[in-house]
Amino acid sequence: MDVNDILKPENRVYKKPTLLNDNHMHYCPGCSHGVVHKLIAEILEEMHAEEIAIGIAPVGCAVFAYNYIDVDWIEAPHGRAPALATAAKRLQPDKLVFTYQGDGDMAAIGTAESLHAANRGENIAMIFINNAIYGMTGGQMAPTTLLGMKTSTTPYGRRVDLNGYPLAITNLMAQLDGTCYVTRQSVHTPAAVRKAKAAIRKAFENSLQGKGTSVVEIVSTCNSGWKMTPEQANKWMEENMFAKYPIGDLKNE
Amino acid sequence: MEEVRLMKGNEALAHAAIRYGADGYFGYPITPQSEVLETLEELRPWETTGMVVLQAESELAAINMVYGGAACGKVVFTSSSSPGISLMQEGLSYIAASEVPALIVNVMRGGPGLGTIHPSQADYFQATKGGGHGDYHMIVLAPSSVQEMCDFMWLGWDLAFKYRTPAMLLADGIVGQMMEKVVLPEPRKRRTEDEIRQLCPWAINGRKNMRPRNVVTSLELDDERMEQNNLRFQRTYREIEKNEIRYEEINTDDCDYLLVAFGSMARICQKVMEIAQEEGLKLGLLRPITLWPFPYEQIKKSSRNAKGILVVELSAGQMIEDVKLAVECKVDVKHYGRLGGIVPTPEEVLDSLKEQFSINK
């Protein structure tokens, strides 16, 4: 038996989702974005939602999400993705509309748009990447940056008296009557990836079923911003991030 | 069917939108234009035409909802007044840069800051020279009657879709609040998704039949390509300047002095002309209807034989800069304006004309 006998379609156990195109990704090796992008592409394909999916990209590292996942996209101003998604979904109720937002987008500049879209119960899915830092602009403090955590704008560590507390915005979202499903996941182990995939799929299905707003937070690593190897970053996330942002469902109706 | 009604300018905007076949309105209350949202909520178009009406959490959200809807190829608009329009500048710049069609109504009030709720025309610079960041323009239409509030909604959308650019109705508190007779046009149906796919092949409505994906974005980090994008915007603006200049002229053929005014001030100036005529003074009026593109050539032409031009505005002098550019210092140009929400009387305008041009009649 040679290699060509093995490379047969019937022997294939895994392939790259076709909706994830071959454009060269700008994400750093070890970053969580790549995994989450792959999950979204995979789920849309499995749901046969390629023809009705509309993504709203944020400002931040994922500003170029539209370069990688082969569905229709609008690139929103910083923080305004939920406002764009609100209109896209209300004007086209048969579409699957999702936002993809970072922590600055969701919990700082776009707090009002995010909370109000969720409070109105817009039938959209919000994918929220929380890596506690501003990756795109070079590692500044995020609203979710942990106390004591060093960033380029908290070079001696985040201090309550100077910078206030980390904002667990997903906990706020879970309090709102408009949300139907709020969960916090991660993608740092194969088991975690499987759970995150199930969560994103549920959020997408909720959007189509008109159940209200779904929020899937992915507690993520930014090994470049954190100045760690990918492996160190995963370990640091488990030991530090999960204490403030515990993994699990916050609301499941 | 056409319908003749008596209503406020702000109410006419709402009726005109539904009859045009608008898909969505997103707005936030602010005086003196809150009747737009109130009228739409009262009329409940979602039960008849299917039009979406949503009170947003802020003007920032409202303009970005408009951006989202416009990117989907939908007929959408928002309305606000000066402080709210300032908040919308971010979205306007993105809408222009993304080349999507949208309609924005500014029923101007006095500024700066929170200012006053009374009429003003002091957002002329903001509307015609940019407002948001970057090299962009909006088509700016200045209605001076309730009928034009209605008609220019339709014209604004037609132009916005023709050129894939934002268009603004720059009204003022007087035109928004005053009641007049208005002929409401025969209603049209909203576009179907198939029609949108035909008319706007760039629209974000999903990859039906696995068409190539569409992306609406204003971002391009390759500077060479970003320059090409900008050059394309500029070509569109030159095309608009060539085709879409609109104005109204009254008695400009043989006038001693030319009045230039837009919106409600053009109405006051018509009365100024009447009073002046009784005194034997021949005045002409040029009313720019498009403030951008501006009727430079026409002002130059109409003022050729005039002894002077008086620009009448509810501001400290904004449109006067464009009038001066138009006449290239060949005609004496003066300004009269009231500020802070005060509207001048026709007599006051005429007195100022006589004083500034030393006319002793």
A17 in a structural domain: no
Interface test with B, best of A54, A84, A105 (most B CBs within 10 A): A84
Distance from the A54 Cα atom to the nearest Cα atom in chain B, whole angstroms: 6
The CATH fold of domain B3-193: Rossmann fold (3.40.50)
Of the candidates B173, B177, B176, B97, the residue with the CA atom closest to the CA atom of residue B137: B97
What is the percentage of chain B residues whose pLDDT exceeds 90? 99
Rounded CA-CA distance B36/B40 in Å is: 6
Of the candidates B191, B246, B223, B254, the residue with the CA atom closest to the CA atom of residue B24: B191
Determine, for residues A80 and B67 on separate chains, whether the beta-carbon distance falls below 8 Å.
yes
What's the total number of domains in chain A? 1
Q: What is the pLDDT of residue A8?
A: 86
Alpha carbon A2 to its chain centroid, in Å, reads: 42
Instruction: Say if residue B361's pLDDT is above 70.
Output: no
Instruction: Say if residue B130's pLDDT is above 90.
Output: no
- C-beta separation of A227 from A28 below 8 A: no
The number of C-beta contacts closer than 8 angstroms across A and B is 127
A159 in a structural domain: yes
| Residues in a beta bridge with A179 | A213
Q: What is the pLDDT of residue A5?
A: 85
Rounded CA-CA distance A54/A74 in Å is: 8
Q: What is the pLDDT of residue B340?
A: 92
Q: How many CB atoms lie within 10 A of CB A228?
A: 17
Residue limits of CATH 3.40.50.920 in chain B: 248-356
Alpha carbon A4 to its chain centroid, in Å, reads: 39
Identify the burial level of B29 via C-beta atoms within 10 angstroms of its C-beta, where 0-12 means exposed, 13-18 middle and 19 or more buried: middle
- B147 to each of B121, B179, B216, B249, B261, how far by Cα in Å? 19, 10, 35, 18, 18
| Interface subset of B 45-104, CB within 8 angstroms of A | 52, 54, 56-58, 60-62, 64-69, 71-72, 74, 76, 90-91, 94, 98
**Average pLDDT for chain B:** 97
A20 in a structural domain: no
Q: What is the pLDDT of residue B83?
A: 98
Rounded CA-CA distance B30/B107 in Å is: 10
Across the interface, which of B54, B60, B204 has its CB nearest the CB of A74?
B204
Q: What is the pLDDT of residue A4?
A: 85
Match 């951006």 to its residue by tokens.
B67
Structure tokens at B204: 């974000």
Residue of B nearest to A21 (CA): B213
For the segment A103-130, what is each residue's pLDDT rounded down to a tens digit? 999 999 999 999 999 999 999 999 999 9
Q: Please, which residues have CB within 8 angstroms of residue A165's CB and are 6 or more apart in sequence?
A: A147
A8 in a structural domain: no
Rounded CA-CA distance A237/B138 in Å is: 48
For the segment B150-163, what is each residue's pLDDT rounded down to a tens digit? 999 999 999 999 99
Low-confidence ranges of chain A (pLDDT < 50): none
Structure tokens at B68: 């989202």
Structure tokens at B328: 């290239």
Domain holding A84, by residue range, is: 25-252
Q: How many CB atoms lie within 10 A of CB B285?
A: 21
Determine, for residues A73 and B217 on separate chains, whether the beta-carbon distance falls below 8 Å.
yes
What secondary structure letter does DSSP report for A219? E
Rounded CA-CA distance B217/A110 in Å is: 18
Determine, for residues B68 and A92 on separate chains, whether the beta-carbon distance falls below 8 Å.
no
For the segment B301-339, what is each residue's pLDDT rounded down to a tens digit? 999 999 999 999 999 999 999 999 999 999 999 999 999
Q: Report the phi/psi class of residue A2: left, alpha or beta, with left for phi > 0 and alpha for psi in -120 to 50.
A: beta
CATH 3.40.50.920 matches B248-356:
yes
Residues of chain B with Cβ-Cβ distance to A91 below 8 Å are 23-24, 52, 69, 72, 74, 76
Rounded CA-CA distance B305/A116 in Å is: 59
- HEC secondary structure over chain B: CCEEEEEEHHHHHHHHHHHHCCCEEEECCCCCCCHHHHHHHHHCHHHCCCCEEEECCCHHHHHHHHHHHHHCCCCEEEEECHHHHHHCHHHHHHHHHHCCCEEEEEEEECCCCCCCCCECCCCHHHHHHCCCCCCCCCEEECCCCHHHHHHHHHHHHHHHHHHCCEEEEEEEHHHHHCEEEEEECCCCCCCCHHHHHHHCCCCCCCCHHHCCCCEECCCCCCHHHHHHHHHHHHHHHHHHHHHCCCEEEECCCCCCEEEECCCHHHHHHHHHHHHHHHCCCCEEEEEECEEECCCHHHHHHHCCCCCEEEEEECCCCCHHHHHHHHHCCCCCEEEEECCCCCCCCHHHHHHHHHHHCCCCC
Q: What is the pLDDT of residue B62?
A: 98
Per CB distance under 8 Å, which residues of A are interface residues toward B? 50-54, 56-57, 63-64, 66, 70-77, 80, 83-88, 90-92, 95, 112-113, 116
The CATH number that applies at residue A229 is 3.40.50.970
Q: What is the pLDDT of residue B259?
A: 98
Determine, for residues B61 and A88 on separate chains, whether the beta-carbon distance falls below 8 Å.
no
A35 in a structural domain: yes
For the segment B47-103, what is each residue's pLDDT rounded down to a tens digit? 999 999 999 999 999 999 999 999 999 999 999 999 999 999 999 999 999 999 999
